[in-house]
């Protein structure tokens, strides 16, 4: 069982970082990951998803609009996957409206997805995608060449049990690919927006600090340590792209995208303005 006084990623000591709508994020003094303390229980998260998630504005309700806005994410995930050998079979956890699934199927991949949202699963089925209602633990007794997620891993609790089960679903040498918001941007902007005053409320930062759903914002080091503990070797870390938007939010995304295109080649993983990263891990023997 995880000790609430220790980092989920590396077991390091924690200190208070800031509050957001009554929830407290703490920072690991070893790997700089950010996590909610206390971590919500699965029951608490389930209740929050059921009663508050859609109202929070964290979820786009129009399927085709959401798929269109997320095209840069899907293409970046596909590129990361192809760079390490295109798999013949993929399990997607958090299939959403099916945008990534459609891309994979169009390239001949044997695709299966799971999602907890009834309306999303129903929409995927209208497109002929093999998506079922459930989570990672709903999948039993089969293995795939790759497991993929987009904006899912930051929602997880009980990481050790989750990753142990994920290993059982991957073939030897299988790929684990996840795009998720990470700690460097959150720490940098969270401090800058509050001028270093930790007693002030944390900004939302385009839904980065989004409790109780965003339970842990892993640093790159923290993610690597966590995955290594469960038998996964890091192959690649890539900057996540910006989604497509309209008006001022869309302009801000395009501007940040241009800034990151200039900064990432110069400073790589220490560049602080990349909101999310794409991780590629390989299951070790």
Which residues on adjacent β-strands are paired with residue 237? Answer: 279
* pTM summary value: 0.93
pLDDT of residue 57: 55
Residue whose entry in the numeric block shows the structure tokens 């990753």: 163
pLDDT of residue 257: 84
Backbone angles phi, psi at 18, to 5 degrees: 170, 165
- Which parts of the chain sit beneath pLDDT 50? 1-2
pLDDT of residue 52: 65
Taken in order of first residue, the domains within the chain and their CATH numbers are 14-283 (3.40.50.150)
Q: How many other CB atoms are found less than 10 A from the CB of residue 257?
A: 15
pLDDT of residue 25: 98
Residue-wise pLDDT tens digits, 173-232 = 999 999 999 999 999 999 999 999 999 999 998 889 999 999 999 999 999 999 999 999
pLDDT of residue 254: 79
Q: Judge contact between 132 and 138, C-beta under 8 A.
A: yes
């Amino acid at each position: 069982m995880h000790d609430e006084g220790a980092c989920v990623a590396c077991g390091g000591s924690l200190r208070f970082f800031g509050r957001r709508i009554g929830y407290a994020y703490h920072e690991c003094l070893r790997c700089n990951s950010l996590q909610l303390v206390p971590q919500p229980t699965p029951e608490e998260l389930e209740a929050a998803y059921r009663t508050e998630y859609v109202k929070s504005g964290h979820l786009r309700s129009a399927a085709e609009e959401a798929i269109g806005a997320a095209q840069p994410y899907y293409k970046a995930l596909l590129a990361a996957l192809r760079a390490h050998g295109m798999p013949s079979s993929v399990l997607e956890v958090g299939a959403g409206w099916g945008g990534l699934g459609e891309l994979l199927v169009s390239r001949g991949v044997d695709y299966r997805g799971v999602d907890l949202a009834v309306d999303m699963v129903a929409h995927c089925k209208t497109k002929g995608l093999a998506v079922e209602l459930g989570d990672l633990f709903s999948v039993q007794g089969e293995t795939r060449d790759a497991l993929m997620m987009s904006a899912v891993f930051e929602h997880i609790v009980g990481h050790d049990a989750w990753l142990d089960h994920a290993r059982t679903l991957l073939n030897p040498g299988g790929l684990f690919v996840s795009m998720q918001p990470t700690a460097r941007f959150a720490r940098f902007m969270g401090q800058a927006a509050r001028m270093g005053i930790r007693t002030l409320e944390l900004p939302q930062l385009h839904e980065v600090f989004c409790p109780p759903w965003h339970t842990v914002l892993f640093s790159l080091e923290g993610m690597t340590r966590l995955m290594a503990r469960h038998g996964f070797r890091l192959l690649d870390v890539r900057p996540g792209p910006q989604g497509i938007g309209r008006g001022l939010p869309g302009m801000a995304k395009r501007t940040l995208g241009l800034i990151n295109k200039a900064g990432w080649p110069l400073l790589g993983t220490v560049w602080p303005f990349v909101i999310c990263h794409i991780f590629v891990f390989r299951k070790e023997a």
